[in-house]
Structure formats: structure tokens, C-alpha cells
Chain A
């Protein structure tokens, strides 16, 4: 934990230095700009420039990081006294499985659409991390995205990413046109029926 705290503080300190430098930057289109010119506290009688506030905040971050490093060296903060590892084997495995799953989920959104990605993610999570019965995993990973689809895309017309043009044109356009023509009652019914199916499967899965 001590080493992790030390390394993190150094990384954050470097980030602060970068941000301090970055704060003094001018607009890209202004070729005559001199670096740091906008970090002044009163530029031409019109108060601080746009870099003033970020620069001193980043400086404050840097000072805090140095302070944290001193505390780590003097062993006055709880993590620097702890002998526990930063992440034990279980934590590393969890982070890899959950974090990797999330990254994969995000990549899939652009490729195969939001709802399909949700289905894949839920199935992955329930099978790999939860070890639930197959029937329950399949039911959940189909019903939850269907609910979300009805809620966002149909009822609220808050459309979500649809993946490639081909997936969109082949699957979503006809389905969307179909559901949008239905009355709200039908939608609510679809919602309830799929929920009931899920509940039945969840019940039988428990036995």
C-alpha cells in the first residue's frame, strides 16, 4: 500500500505539472501568443486571464501531492502504515474481469449497437462472475435491454447508438417503425409480459 501511495502521488504530481503548463497555453489559432501570457492576475485592467484559475489550481494540486509524498515518507497517513497489498489477488482478478468487461462493453456499443452490447455484457457478467443458471442469464440479458429499448428508443425517443449502418438498417429500422406505430398500451403490455417471463424463469432457476 505504501509503495502504491507513493507512486500514485508522483503520477498525480506529474499530472499537475502538465496541467500547470497546459494552463498557460493560448488558442491554437493565435500564432503570436506567448506561453504563460494568460495566467496573469490582472491583464489590461480586465481581471485574471483564462489561464489564471487553472494554473493556480494545478499548483495547489502539486503542493498537495508533495505534501502527500512527505506524509508517505514519514508514515503519517493510514495507507502508508498499512502492510496490506494495494490490491490482492482477488482484487486484481475482479478488476480485470469487471473492468475488462466494461471496456469490452463500450467497444461493442459502436460495433453492434447499445442494446446488443448490453445483452452481451449482462450475459458475460452473470455467467463468468455470477455463475448463474444459463436459463436465468439468457432471460435477463434479453429482457433488460428490451425494457431499456422500449423506454429510451420508443417511449422517450432518446435514441441510442445502433452500431454499423448495416445493423441499423437491417434490424433496428423495421423494428423501430413497428413499435412506434403501436399505442402506449401495447408497449406497456410488452414491458409487463417480458417482465413476467423473467420472473417465472428466475423463480424456477432458484429451485
Chain B
């Protein structure tokens, strides 16, 4: 048994060494197409442009990264584009959870997520339940009581239909027998602003989106949908701490993937490149400031993570009736 383990480990190490030598064989020969699966100005876009500027400033790649936004059809445009690029070795993409949900919801796209090259998962964005301070709510129990009292007049704003925010709202409704009304918006910024202006009553913004209004005292965090408390909001409990056994944590992946058909050498090159980005001070600072979680993940490990996530999302979307 032990012998077998040693052998496998040895083989794996040999394999690693081989890819490592092969990796040095690939160098980009032209600007790298850096596709962003979302529109200009959103959270994913800002993050992608931060990665690009880290690469530029530290001169990590021999060629520039050229960000292009392909936001159409909730990521459908980006996925079909990546499926058909003529040079997969110079095409990478920043993805979010629509990487799982869009192919599930739109089977006509004929996109296989697992065919994309798992380059690196850079972080997981977190979700927090926010209300306006004038509601006078500070705990989940008070929240549930108030929402029940308000009947269907309680409004949750969120980014997009059947999106991450929608999934969390559906879960709250189901778990606590609530009748929260969900209103889809174009972007998280608009949601945060309407919450501050008391046009809606609550949101499940990412911390980065609500931070400005949190600092000005307009909005209050109730619970975080994470496994551990967020360092930035030490007094805000996680949902699981206060939920009486209803376990629910939800994250948004921020990953870099390569186009289907990318060579192993190129994939190893980009994994090495984004490992350097991940380890840079600028990225670590951003991760802390915006309350992102999740460690670096790549290769096989990332593929497995995707497999689990796709399964989960299929279950969630089926439960909510978004797919059959």
C-alpha cells in the first residue's frame, strides 16, 4: 500500500517536473485576449482590470493582457466566443458563477464548462444581508419577524434574475416561510444606492458593493453567508451561527479559465502567471479590503471544485423552477 502511494507520488512529481520544464517552453507571442464575462464597471470587471494592472505593473508577462468585455446573455456571449477562438493559447477569461448557471439555463449554447482549462481560482466573493439603518433591525430574528409582519411589502433588490442574489433570496423565503419580493437590477451598485435611498428594504450585496454606504452608516449588515465570520465585520454573525440548523453558505467564484483546447504548456504558463498575481501584495490587499475569501486553486483541484459547484447549482435552479 505504502509502496503504491510512493509510486503514485513519484509519478505525480515526475509529471509535475515534466510540465514544469514544458511550461518554460510556452511564452506568449502576442497580446493575450483577456475576456471578462460581464459588462464594464461591475464587480467582475473591476477585479479583472486589477489583475491586468498587477500583471502590467510588475511586468509579469512578456505581452500585455487586453481586457475585452463580453457581457451578452448573462455570459452566453463570452462562453460561445471562447468556444470558438482561433488561438486558444492566447485567450483567457475571468468567470463568475454564471459560468455554471448560464450553460445550465441555456442548453442550446452547447457549452461544456469542463472543457475550459482550469487556470486559477483567485478568490471567492462573499454575500452579506444588508438592511437600512432606519429599519432598526440588527439580528436575523428581528429581520424575520419584521419581514413576516410586512407580508409581501418587503423588497429585496439584487443583481439579475436567477442570479446569485436571487438564489440567496429564494433560500431565505423557503427556509423561514417568508414572502420577500425580489426585484432584479442591472448591477450591484444600483442596488446598494437604492437601499441607501430606502427605495428597497434589504439587499444581499457583496461587501465591496455596499462598503461605501456601510462606512457612511446608512446600511447595517445582519448576517454573512459564509462559513467563518468576515474579518471586516467581526460583530456580524455568519448565517449558520444564528440559523438554528439551517446550513447555508454561498460564494461567488472569481476564477481565470483558458479557452477550450488550450495546450497544457500554455495552461501551466497562465497558472504560474496568476499564482504570481495571487501572491502579490496588491491582490492580497484587495482581497482583505473587499472581504473576499477562498485560497488559490488550480488544475485538477479546480476542475473538481467546478464539478461540485455545477451539481449544486443544478439542484438549486431545479428547486426554484428556473430549469426543469
Contacts and interface: CB of A to CB of B under 8 A. Distances in A.
A and B touch in their complex, CB below 8 angstroms: yes
Interface of A: 27-29, 157-159, 165, 168-169, 172-173, 176-177, 180
Interface of B: 29-31, 33, 63-64, 66, 86-87, 105-108, 323
Contact of B30 (A27, A29, A158, A172): A172
Contacts of A27: 106
A128 B31 CA distance: 36
Contacts of A158: 66
A159 B63 CA distance: 12
A165 B29 CA distance: 12
Contacts of B30: 168-169, 172-173, 176
Main secondary structure of the interface of B (DSSP, over half): loop
Contacts of A29: 105-108, 323
A159 B31 contact: yes
B2 to A, nearest CB: 50
B320 to A, nearest CB: 15
Contact of A180 (B64, B86, B106): B64
A154 B108 CA distance: 39
Contacts of A176: 30-31
Most buried by A among B30, B66, B105: B30
Contact of B87 (A28, A165, A180): A165
A157 B86 contact: no
A173 B87 CA distance: 14
29 contacts: A27-B106, A28-B106, A28-B108, A29-B105, A29-B106, A29-B107, A29-B108, A29-B323, A157-B31, A157-B64, A157-B66, A158-B66, A159-B31, A159-B33, A159-B66, A165-B86, A165-B87, A168-B30, A169-B29, A169-B30, A172-B30, A173-B29, A173-B30, A176-B30, A176-B31, A177-B29, A177-B63, A180-B63, A180-B64
A176 B107 CA distance: 40
A111 to B, nearest CB: 13
Nearest to B33: A159
A177 B323 CA distance: 48
A138 B86 CA distance: 32
A157 B63 CA distance: 10
A157 B61 CA distance: 14
A177 B63 CA distance: 8
Given A157-B31, A158-B66, A169-B29, 17 more contacts: A27-B106, A29-B105, A29-B106, A29-B107, A29-B323, A157-B64, A159-B31, A159-B33, A165-B86, A172-B30, A173-B29, A173-B30, A176-B30, A176-B31, A177-B63, A180-B63, A180-B64
